[in-house]
Amino acid sequence: MPEKSIVEEMICSSDFSYLHPYFYNNPYALRCELGTGDEKEYMENAKNRAKEIYRILFPKGADAIFFNHWIYDYCGSGNAEYLNYDADEDIEDTIEYIIEQITEDLKFLFKFQNKYRHLTVRNLETYDSPDDSDFGLHRRNRVVCYSDGMGFDYNELICQELEGVNGHEVSFVSFENECIFSIYDNRGCDIVFMTHDKRDCEKKSVNYLPW
């Protein structure tokens, strides 16, 4: 069995938290602007720049992607109590919305688990702090999917990240370039490298883009 790259070892480890902000939480990282121009051309520029960065980092396509699958304990605290709703909320509408969100999350999860060889890193750190009212109710699993020559529809995934249509925070991975490419929204993206040398090498290529 071939030896794993540093980045593969990291994304498969529960010691690698990888929470926002990626740029500030990792020592070898680049942050790139995406959306520029007026409202009419802003989103198109963001898409074009994100795709160009992808092609620089992954000339042969990404070796893997990973994303967060969030699980929330809707049973609450376990105490005898009512669920809290604002007075102006329609409970039926709220329930319907929650069901729709969970359904979409599961569709996304099963789509990639059924198509790609994958593994799951469970019970990772979350954004919650002990002061939060629902502390301990969120769980986060990282799902790592391997390309194995099949490739990913990076155009669709990039557009979803730019438009914020899902909360999975999909990231692309290169085993050769030892890097992770993550779009945080239509304003910009972070590129996290595992070594200083890899960052400096790829930084030259990314900096040649007409920002």
Domain ranges for the chain, please list them: 6-207
Q: What is the pLDDT of residues 149-179, one digit of tens each?
A: 999 999 999 999 999 887 899 999 999 999 9
Tokens of 170: 């999909």
pLDDT at 87: 66
Rounded Cα distance between 140 and 132, Å, is 16
Tell me how long the chain is. 211
Q: What is the pLDDT of residues 63-80, one digit of tens each?
A: 999 999 999 988 876 777
Rounded Cα distance between 24 and 192, Å, is 10
Q: Which of 20-34, 106-120, 157-171, 190-204 is least confident?
A: 190-204
SS3 94: helix
Close Cβ partners of 111 (under 8 Å, ≥ 6 residues apart): none
- Classify residue 124 as exposed, middle or buried by CB count within 10 Å of its CB (0-12, 13-18, 19+): middle
